[in-house]
């Protein structure tokens, strides 16, 4: 099963038991941001929305959220990776996305024109000022 986003562009392949909803997605002048996380509660979604707004992103326009259930994995499609996007993972190692990248939190990795950022889960970030600062530092560098 695939997520048919980005004007019918395949983004990720997911297990058959995961039935995502279609979310329309438009190209804008900004590099698209794909956020991958465990399922989020309402407080975490609110925090994520504020974080994305702070860097000028809007869900459904140039920011997508894919929530992966426990013990699930996904593979980013070739098409998505050709979009020169920003992939931010909150609390999930890159190996769950099919990448053999170093899992060093809060260090921006660049690969084939894409930017990858691994962070702690949003509930931990919301409770830890130092983690908020580290995240903000990396997010600012994405928009520089």
Q: What is the pLDDT of residues 85-144, one digit of tens each?
A: 888 999 988 877 777 777 789 999 888 888 899 999 999 999 999 999 999 999 988 764
Separation CA 74–CA 1 (nearest Å) = 10
Question: Which residue from 73, 10, 66, 60 is spatially nearest to 32, judged by alpha carbons?
Answer: 60
**Domain housing 118:** 2-142
Asked whether residue 63 carries a pLDDT value surpassing 50, the answer given is: yes
Number of compact structural domains in the chain:
1
Which pTM does this prediction carry? 0.78
CATH number at residue 114: 3.40.50.10220
């Amino acid at each position: 099963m695939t997520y048919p986003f980005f004007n019918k562009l395949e983004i990720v392949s997911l297990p058959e038991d995961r039935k995502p909803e279609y979310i329309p997605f438009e190209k804008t002048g900004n590099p698209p941001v794909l956020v991958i996380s465990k399922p989020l509660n309402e407080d975490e979604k609110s925090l994520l929305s504020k974080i994305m707004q702070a860097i000028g992103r809007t869900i459904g326009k140039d920011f997508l959220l894919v929530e992966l259930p426990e013990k699930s994995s996904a593979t980013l499609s070739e098409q998505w990776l050709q979009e020169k996007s920003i992939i931010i993972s909150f609390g999930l190692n890159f190996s769950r996305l099919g990448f053999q990248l170093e899992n060093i939190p809060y260090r921006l990795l660049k690969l084939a024109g894409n930017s990858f950022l691994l962070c702690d889960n949003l509930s931990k970030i919301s409770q830890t000022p130092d983690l908020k600062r580290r995240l903000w530092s990396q997010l600012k560098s994405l928009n520089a």
